[in-house]
Amino acid sequence: MADEPDNMVLILLRKMDEKIDRLSDDVKDMKVRMINVDEGLAGVNRRLDRIEARVDRVERRLELSDATH
């Protein structure tokens, strides 16, 4: 009977260890996904910057803009 509580504690600790391993894997996966989202957003921002520059050039060329850059 004295061995039974120790075994229960070990069983619970092993279950906790498995859950922590799964959580760790999930966090690693989330980090990879966040990096991908961040890189994608950076690409979108670069494209918007290029489009904005082109629109500015068109506005200047057509004299549609009061501001000079």
pTM: 0.64
Residue type, 40: G
| Residue 6's pLDDT band (cuts 50, 70, 90) | confident
Identify the residue with better confidence: 33 or 1.
Answer: 33
Backbone angles phi, psi at 49, to 5 degrees: -60, -45
| Residue 65's pLDDT band (cuts 50, 70, 90) | confident
d(CA 22, CA 47): 38
pLDDT in the model for residue 2:
54
